[in-house]
Amino acid sequence: MFEFGRTHVVRPKGRHQATIVWLHGLGDKGSGWSQLLESLPLPNVKWICPTAPTRPVSLFGGFPCTAWFDAQDITEDAPDDLEGLDASAAHVANLLSTEPADIKLGIGGFSMGAATALYSATCHIFGQYGNRNPYLVNLSSVVGLSGWLPCSKTLRNRMEGSNETVRRAASLPILLCHGSGDDVVAYKHGEKSARVLSSAGFQNLTFRSYEGLGHYTIPEEMDEVCRWLTARLGLQGS
């Protein structure tokens, strides 16, 4: 498979209560988000910002750039690169696996990073990756900004018949945010992803829309992320 790039870590300024892996968007790198995350008023959070492998991306005619998986199109109808998704979800799980037992674990991301975070959420509830290998990380929160849900067409069918899966889905807190003016990942894809997750049984899901916001983040949105994480993870502040 492809080699992952450099990982940037933002250490907690206060008592360490939670560790969140944050995943950048297509063509970006971990350092692109680490500075913003370091400025947030969340002293109890350790942020881990990995960098995706550089790989050919079908969306760009095979031109190589940093990507968590191969994307032919940024919609929920595009074919899913399960091998790439599994590899990135496993890389993230590996980064979280060495955290102390009393630390709450989360995954967040922007755009393609948000898609990878949501894919990880589905691995968590099934207890396995798409390739059936066991997924062993216990997630306490998932945040997706300006993203979409991979493998959305098969989600509900895969959940039928497993009480444990349904229980995990109902209790996993997810925050999705999307701008109505997004011209890269259209707002309708974010909204549909939230609908699919809700109807599949993810009952602890919050969807926030931002009027006129394009494919980027704003302080108002990051304030919402901070408030939500503080409440869901029971963070104590400084």
What are 70-79's pLDDT values in tens digits?
A: 998 877 677 8
pTM assigned to the model: 0.96
Q: Which of 111, 120, 140, 141 is catalytic?
A: 111
Better pLDDT: 157 or 181: 181
Catalytic residue among 91, 178, 182, 193: 182
Residue found by looking up tokens 């870590």 in the block: 9
Assess whether pLDDT exceeds 80 at residue 84.
yes
**Catalytic residue of the set 16, 162, 180, 215:** 215
28 is catalytic: no
Q: Is there a catalytic annotation at residue 141?
A: no
The closest alpha carbon to 80, from 33, 22, 128, 129, belongs to 129
Say what the pLDDT of residue 57 is.
95
pLDDT tens per residue, range 92-142: 999 999 999 999 999 999 999 999 999 999 999 999 999 999 999 999 999
Catalytic status, residue 124: no
Q: Report the distance separating Cα 95 and Cα 19, nearest Å.
A: 10
Taking alpha carbons only, the member of 218, 220, 235, 227 closest to residue 110 is 218
What is the pLDDT confidence band of residue 87, given thresholds at 50, 70 and 90?
very high
3-state secondary structure at position 84:
helix
